[in-house]
Amino acid sequence: MSGGNEKHSQADSILANKGLWIGVGLAIFALVGFILPAPQSLTDVLKEYGYVNRMIEWGIAQDASEAVGKTMIVLGIVPMAILFFATEAVPIGVTGILMPILAYFFNLLPSNMVGKTFAGDAPMFMLGVFALGAVIVETGFHKRLAVWILGWTSGFWIPMLVLCISMSVVGSFLSAPAMCSFMTPVLMAVYFGVISGRSKNGPVKHDPALAKFLLFSLCFSLNVGGVGSPAAGGRNVIMMGFFNDYQVPITFAEWMKYGWALVPLGGLVVFLYMMLLFGRKIQNRDLTAGLEAIKEDTRDMGRMRYPEYVTGGMLILIVTLWILAGEGAGLGGPALLALVIPVVLRVTEWKKILGRISWDAWFMYCGALTLGALLRDSGGALWLARCFLGALESVNMDQGYGLWVGMSGFSGLVTNFMSDAATVALIGPIVIPMGIMTGMAGEPWATGLGVAFASSYAHFLVVGSPTNALTYGLGVYPDSGERVIHTIDFVKYGFLLWVLSMILLWTIGFLGIYPLVGFPEGILEEATRVLESGVQ
């Protein structure tokens, strides 16, 4: 046992060596961005797809050589940012701010475009969702939610099974970040009820394994729900748009035929994985005390009060607007109501909302959006995708099942580094015509759906999805305010689950659901006609 503890402490010591990781990150950035020669294939892609001309038009490059140099700088930023985010060599909020700073000072994008990455719909959405979670906790509404969702359960296995399955199902229809914003405080309240019950005669003795178990179960369950329906996220709607471009539209119900069965199965995989991963480490393997404590607190609160009614109504209003308001309102418009309604209707104070928002996590997420924009607009992401496709062709995985596995794997990998919507927007236009040209029945739906499904599995980096960022930002111990999760924990506990999620897609999805459901006749022929006519 002492040897194991020694190895663990050595690993923690290495991760805690901030200076080491700062040095490594800067060295990689300098090597890739300024020392290594640019591959000829990168130059060819930037010229072929118009990235060179675009950079010249934007005024950030004077010729092809300078444009390629800008892309190499972006490719150097990526591994440095990943190291900084994963190891917290500098505070993750600072790393987030570093992304637009580099974009400004190296002139990687026009200045007005850099600013938009920090002030677009997605940043406003995240800000509003953080505020929504803050108001729910401030009014105590999260305790009632806990009773409504988990109050009828007891023990350990049943509550967790209910949590994983129910959150994966809900996450396939409603906003996963919104669910995360109020379920994270719910689970931390349950957690604190458990450990408080065990610490009546002394100081509170925390059980970090239990806290991480609860939060990661919630986060990962919401992630796997993203494949279930078009309502689960913009990535799915974007892919539906690509299908429309080739005149082979897919309906809401048809999407669910291929994706929804993976949702409860994914929730079950999360449940079993988390049990195996944390089961022996958890000191308090009974949630009954925490659930009972929440029930008792709810009884002490009495009947619902004015602030809770307003909070509940606001929650329903925001979710309804997300579903019905359309593209004009976006996601950010409804979410920002969570910053206004509670103050105007005197539910809570403005300063209290601001104090509960995790600005560190918000800056981190905005920085990740900047990084995604740099990859997309510099042509770096397209070049990486083309390289990956070339590798697939070299091992005869460029059609049918091989193509589905290869490109969904690439989508699942990339979505951990940039937004899921950006991932699908980047990869979709490449793989859909490639799938059509294979002449395999079921294209382009088969490859397109695989890419969209895999973009939901952003398990192993904190910047991979808004749900990850919210879990990190809101997951704090109620008594001390310290963070439960470190960014490296997503790598430690999320990577293997990402592999399992991909295996679930490749086996149950591609080998089970695809043949069982089948594909409509004529979609390949129609898409081929559109492709050959040049109308896209």
The partner residues of 483 in beta bridges, in order of sequence, read: 476
User: DSSP letters along 475-493, please?
Assistant: -B-TTT--BS--HHHHHHH
DSSP code, position 511: I
Mean pLDDT of 248-262: 90
Mean pLDDT of 144-165: 85
Residue-wise pLDDT for 212-225, tens only, equals 999 999 999 999 99
Torsion of CA 137, 139, 142, 147, to 10 degrees: 150
Provide the pLDDT for residue 3: 44
Computed over every residue of the chain, the mean pLDDT equals 85
Q: What b/e readout covers 404-432, taking b as 16+ CB neighbours within 10 angstroms?
A: bbbbbbbbbbbbbbbbbbbbbbbbbebbb
Q: Which residues contact 306 (CB under 8 A, 6 or more apart)?
A: 347
Residue 2 has pLDDT above 50, yes or no: no
The partner residues of 501 in beta bridges, in order of sequence, read: none
Query: Cα–Cα distance between 370 and 381 in angstroms, integer?
Result: 13
- The amino acid sitting at 249 is P
pTM > 0.75 = yes
pLDDT band at 427 (very low <50, low <70, confident <90, very high): confident
pLDDT band at 457 (very low <50, low <70, confident <90, very high): very high
Which of 455 and 117 is assigned the larger pLDDT? 455
Counting residues of the chain whose pLDDT is more than 70, the rounded percentage is 94
Residue 417 has pLDDT above 80, yes or no: no
pLDDT band at 16 (very low <50, low <70, confident <90, very high): low
Provide the pLDDT for residue 201: 66
Residue 40 has pLDDT above 80, yes or no: yes
DSSP code, position 230: G
Which stretch of DSSP H or E encloses residue 93?
helix 92-105
Provide the pLDDT for residue 189: 85
Closest by Cα among 262, 261, 214, 103 to 484:
214
Provide the pLDDT for residue 13: 54
Sign of the dihedral through C-alpha 181, 187, 193, 195: negative
Burial class (CB in 10 A: 0-12, 13-18, 19+), 492: middle
According to the per-residue pLDDT averaged within each range, which of 142-156, 369-383, 397-411 is highest? 397-411
- What the block records as the tokens of 33 is 């961005």
Residue-wise pLDDT for 341-392, tens only, equals 999 999 999 998 998 887 887 887 788 778 877 887 888 877 887 787 788 8
Query: Cα–Cα distance between 81 and 33 in angstroms, integer?
Result: 13
